[in-house]
């Protein structure tokens, strides 16, 4: 894993999912016996995404032209 100029690293998706690390979750680095650990801060409320379960289920059977006419108010 490479550190960017800004000191950033990408946490692998598997690790984020296992630890429940989502955007805006606070994490800490803990040093213990010469090792550094990444830990999720305790007491952080779990952020819920109200519309996540609805993502990708919209079923519009209109053409792009029909949608544009509808949004523009064309008759």
- 75 has a pLDDT exceeding 60: no
Tell me how many domains the chain contains.
Answer: 1
The Cα 8–Cα 2 span in angstroms is 8
To the nearest 10°, the Cα dihedral for 4, 6, 11, 17?
Answer: -150
State pTM to two decimals.
Answer: 0.47
What's the domain range around 31?
Answer: 13-72
Is residue 18 a part of any domain in this protein? yes
Instruction: Say what the pLDDT of residue 13 is.
Output: 93
Model confidence over 14-54: pLDDT tens digits? 988 988 888 888 889 999 999 999 888 887 556 667 777 77
Query: In the numeric block, which tokens belong to residue 6?
Result: 């800004």
Is residue 30 a part of any domain in this protein? yes
pLDDT tier, 66 (very low <50, low <70, confident <90, very high otherwise): confident
């Amino acid at each position: 894993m490479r550190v960017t100029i800004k000191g950033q690293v990408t946490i692998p998706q598997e690790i984020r999912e296992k630890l429940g690390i989502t955007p805006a979750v606070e994490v800490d680095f803990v040093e213990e016996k010469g090792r550094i650990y990444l830990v999720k801060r305790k007491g952080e409320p779990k952020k819920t995404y109200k519309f996540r379960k609805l993502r990708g289920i919209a079923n519009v059977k209109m053409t792009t032209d029909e949608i544009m006419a509808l949004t523009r108010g064309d008759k």
